Structure 1
Amino acid sequence: MNQYRKDPVSVEEYFRIRESSDELLEYIDGFVYMSPSPSTEHQRISRKLELGIGNFLEGKSCELFHAPYDIELIGKEKQDTKIVIPDISIICDKSGFTDARYVGVPDLIVEILSPSNQSHDLITKLNLYMNYGVKEYWIVNPMLNSVTVYALNDENMYEQYDMKIDTGEVKSKLFNGLRIDISYVFN
């Protein structure tokens, strides 16, 4: 994940930049970050995860949204606007939808690592999602054929709930019955 500009900008300036750019841009702590175009492997993994999670959600009240879709994170004590573009978001609270984006906190977010964005997703976004109360965060690592599931504990800290490498079913703590066969995801 590269910074679009090296200097901090206001959220208003971020929205002006977005209007004149075709890039996938996120806004975190006053800085604008540019997401790289997803690779072929990234797109294949994303599609398989969307199918599996989407099938599970069929007939349920929660919805799946995939990138590019803006999430404007808000929290009870957070003053700063944060706008992220997760690879996959599961949203159950419908009150935050606008025509342009979702304003609120998704229940589950999935990020698929790329060689260029590992530290952004593993450190910056993990802490951001935890601090804003995303109940579950999945990190998909195509370089290791692994999926790690983090879930908020009673102290609102992420704990590793599940992890699979190469084979097996990774499961959600939040959504009882949501299981994804990772050998299908990576083949």
Structure 2
Amino acid sequence: MTAITAQPLTLEEFLKLPETKPSSEYINGEITLKPMPKGRHSRLQGKLCTTINQIAEEPQIAYAFPELRCSFGGRSIVPDVAVFLWEHIQFTADGQVPDNFDLPPDWTIEILSPEQKPNKVIGNILHCLKHGSRLGWFIDPDDLSILVFLPGQQPELLQAEDDLPVLPETQMLLTVNQVFNWLKMGS
């Protein structure tokens, strides 16, 4: 992530700025650019959203959004995958998805890119948990591990055939190896 602010802005001022590509985040008064997703990151992000939504969208349990801006608790962040329980999505009067999400995702997923600082990414997960998220995943494609965060508990490093915790409402069964096997497209 690259810092791009010369002088501090308020969250309200930041939210009035035009969106950037790649996305920018507002953390502790500073604006930073997220790195542009590369192949492995993009593949994992797409498969996670697809897998979660295949199970949870039609029965209106939850929805996984890629790169969704979430502004709450004095920050505006863009998790790689933000999963919201259906009942927490504040649909418009005509039933459409809202543009603004001013609450933490129920489940936040971050995929580490080579240019990112792990502690900054983990800091966003911890911020989500502090403000009401129920689950956080920190995926490291180089290490083939997933660090799992649950409120009030120590993080747990999962690898290989370890079962991954998910939102219980989704009733998904996934292991760490299943997630990383999505990277093998040509075999």
* Shorter-normalised TM range: 0.7 to 0.9
Question: What residue ranges of structure 2 are gaps of 5+ in the alignment?
Answer: none
1:7 aligned residue: 7
Instruction: State yes or no: 1:88 paired with 2:81.
Output: yes
2:35 aligned residue: 36
TM-score by length of 1: 0.79
2:155 aligned residue: 160
- From 175, 180, 184, the equivalent of 2:181 is 184
Distance 1:96 1:4 in 2: 33
Which amino acid is the alignment partner of residue 66 of structure 1?
A: P
Instruction: State yes or no: 1:121 paired with 2:114.
Output: no
Q: Contact 2:45/2:80 (CA < 8 Å) preserved in 1?
A: yes
TM-score by length of 2: 0.79
Offset, 1:162: 6.3
Distance 2:168 2:27 in 1: 26
1:70 aligned residue: 69
Aligned residue-pair number: 173
Offset, 1:46: 1.0
Instruction: State yes or no: 1:25 paired with 2:24.
Output: yes
Deviations 1:55-106 (A, max 9, x none): 2214133211111x211124xxxxxx31110111111212377742211121
Q: Contact 1:171/1:177 (CA < 8 Å) preserved in 2?
A: no
Q: Contact 1:66/1:87 (CA < 8 Å) preserved in 2?
A: yes
Offset, 1:132: 1.1
2:109 aligned residue: 110
- From 149, 165, 184, the equivalent of 1:171 is 165
Q: Contact 2:5/2:30 (CA < 8 Å) preserved in 1?
A: yes
Note closer, same or farther for the CA distance 1:146–1:64 as it changes in structure 2 (3 Å cut). same
Distance 1:26 1:96 in 2: 24
Offset, 1:168: 4.8
Percent pairwise identity: 18
1:78 aligned residue: none
Distance 1:108 1:89 in 2: 6
1:140 aligned residue: 139
Q: Contact 1:164/1:170 (CA < 8 Å) preserved in 2?
A: no
Question: What residue ranges of structure 1 are gaps of 5+ in the alignment?
Answer: 75-80
Deviations 1:80-135 (A, max 9, x none): x311101111112123777422111211010000122222112x213312221211
RMSD: 2.4
> Which of the pair is proportionally richer in strand?
1
Offset, 1:158: 4.0
